[in-house]
Amino acid sequence: MADSVILDNNSAGIFKGKEKLGGGIYFIVSPKKEILFELLIDQVQQFSIFADSARLPASIEFTGSPENKSFLAYTAFMNSHGKEIGTLQSSLEKAKTKNDSATIKDEIRKINEEVKKERDEIQNKAPNSLLATLLGALKDPVVPPAPVLANGKPDSTFAYRYYKEHYWDNISFTDDRLIRTPIFEPKLDRYYKDLVSPEADSIDREIDHMLLFSRTNKDMFKFLLVYFTQKYINPEFMGQDAVFIHIFDKYINTGQADFFTEKYRKFVDDRAYSIMANLIGLPAANLEMTDSSGKIRSLYEVPANFTVVCFWDPTCSHCKETIPKLDSIYQAKWKYQGVQVFAVMVDGGQDNWRNFIRDHHLGDWINVYQTTAQHDAAVTAGRPDYRQLYDVYQTPVLYLLDKEKRIVAKKLTYQQVDEVISLKLKKVNTP
């Protein structure tokens, strides 16, 4: 909430402050937190609004704010034309002949041309206004015909390359007004989801480029840094946590995130130091723990083409469902493929642990846990705990290691782990 006011007996109130509000789209909201209407805030911040809450949006009037008058007119224009297009599209679905369909499509095309003309006129009249900036941000690149290659065929990658290259043509990464609109963040989401290659190195280059351009605008830089941190601190795809480590090393840990709260900075630091130890391709941290017979077992002494490290809890409902299925696929396939399971009991108590192992016949696994003495020795020596080394904050958690105990995959389902093993074995066996 940017500001609040209590209306007097004449239903009048004044929003005022020592500093200007940041430009963007704002909502006027009722005490019941109902959005009543939108308005634009830009350079001119001394103006008045009249609105009858019983007759919205028809009753809204702005005095002293030409941009909001334009915004109000544009909104009415779009509502009217949107209804027309909606009616025509409904008619199109019911059209009985090709001629009828062609006529309706032609009418829709004409309305779209009118909308484009209206937007172009607004942008031409006041190109630096917030409304013009918003309309520019909504534009998608128009891809021209693909050039013909030397072999006489059109360039099949041209459309993608052109679209990506021109995606940000109408957006400035120094214009912080955009971060207070519902347009900018979805546009970022779409860019990184559909247009940027998912490899960490490719994402790193894009992020560095955007943050470099935004440095001269404090608010935009803050927004982007928080956006990228939040997006990759718990990424959607395996391996992209390396992007978060890149952001942490290059920006956060170099003093450029001094606006983070103390609580959030601690959260970010803890996640970074947990993830650093278990990035894809790195050697896994060794685990020396005690098995169910009291013998100390070392992860690095497990001879296997692949090792599945499983962190689990015999009292966890998800584990109770998953662990037997994991053993089924181990018994059916993995143990014949040179795969070993190194299962670490995280919580749940030794009695529950031993009973679960016995009842579900998990004797072919290497079942281990960390004793109190082992935990205390690690703390005394200043060594990080296995929970930090493997970023274990829930159960079950699965890691797949190769023959040299490098991390191949992590935090996948057992079905996905099986797919990775199959792909790796297929690659090895393919001449």
Per-residue confidence (pLDDT) for residue 384, from 0 to 100: 86
Residue 29's beta-bridge partner residues?
35
| Cα distance between residue 116 and residue 314, in whole Å | 62
Domain end, chosen from 251, 276, 301, is at 276
Q: Which two tokens stand for residue 42?
A: 């830009």
Q: Which two tokens stand for residue 249?
A: 């090393």
Per-residue confidence (pLDDT) for residue 405, from 0 to 100: 95
Q: What angle, rounded to 10 degrees, do the helices at 66-94 and 130-138 form?
A: 30
| Cα distance between residue 402 and residue 338, in whole Å | 11
Q: Is the pLDDT of residue 100 over 90?
A: no
Find where tokens 């990775």 sit: 420
Per-residue confidence (pLDDT) for residue 431, from 0 to 100: 59
Instruction: Read off the pLDDT of residues 224-274 as tens digits, 9 standing for 90 and up.
Output: 999 999 999 999 888 999 999 999 999 999 999 999 999 999 999 989 988
250 in the same domain as 302:
no
Task: Tell me if 146 is assigned to some domain.
Answer: no
111 in the same domain as 29:
yes
Residue 297's beta-bridge partner residues?
289
259 in the same domain as 176:
yes
Instruction: Read off the pLDDT of residues 301-360 as tens digits, 9 standing for 90 and up.
Output: 999 999 999 999 999 999 999 999 999 999 999 999 999 999 999 998 899 999 999 999
Q: Which two tokens stand for residue 361?
A: 């016949």
In sequence order, the 6+-apart residues with CB closer than 8 A to the CB of 122 are 70, 74, 129, 131, 132, 135
Name which of 385, 378, 389, 416 is nearest 400 in CA terms: 416
> Which domain does 17 fall in, by range?
1-137
Task: Tell me if 148 is assigned to some domain.
Answer: no
244 in the same domain as 299:
no
338 in the same domain as 240:
no
Cα dist. 241→28, 229, 296, 408 in Å?
39, 10, 32, 14
370 in the same domain as 398:
yes
Q: Is the pLDDT of residue 428 over 70?
A: no
Task: Tell me if 185 is assigned to some domain.
Answer: yes
Per-residue confidence (pLDDT) for residue 378, from 0 to 100: 86
- Average pLDDT value for the chain: 93
Per-residue confidence (pLDDT) for residue 191, from 0 to 100: 97
Instruction: Read off the pLDDT of residues 15-60 as tens digits, 9 standing for 90 and up.
Output: 999 999 999 999 999 989 899 999 999 999 999 999 998 899 889 9
Task: Tell me if 143 is assigned to some domain.
Answer: no
120 in the same domain as 10:
yes
Task: Tell me if 151 is assigned to some domain.
Answer: no
Domain end, chosen from 276, 310, 328, is at 276
* CA 71 and chain centroid, separation: 31
DSSP 366: E
Query: For 167-175, what is the mean pLDDT?
Result: 95
Task: Tell me if 281 is assigned to some domain.
Answer: no
Task: Tell me if 391 is assigned to some domain.
Answer: yes
9 in the same domain as 119:
yes
Using left for φ > 0, alpha for ψ between -120 and 50, and beta otherwise, residue 41 falls in beta
The reported pTM is: 0.82
Find where tokens 């016949």 sit: 361
308 in the same domain as 184:
no
176 in the same domain as 114:
no
Q: Residue 379: which pLDDT band, with cuts at 50, 70 and 90?
A: confident
Write the CATH number for 390: 3.40.30.10
Instruction: Read off the pLDDT of residues 201-211 as tens digits, 9 standing for 90 and up.
Output: 999 999 999 99
Cα dist. 97→93, 105, 198, 325, 338 in Å?
11, 12, 46, 56, 65
269 in the same domain as 185:
yes
The total domain count for the chain is: 3
112 in the same domain as 166:
no
Q: Residue 427: which pLDDT band, with cuts at 50, 70 and 90?
A: confident
Task: Tell me if 145 is assigned to some domain.
Answer: no
Residue 148's beta-bridge partner residues?
154
Instruction: Read off the pLDDT of residues 275-310 as tens digits, 9 standing for 90 and up.
Output: 888 899 999 999 999 998 899 999 999 999 999 999
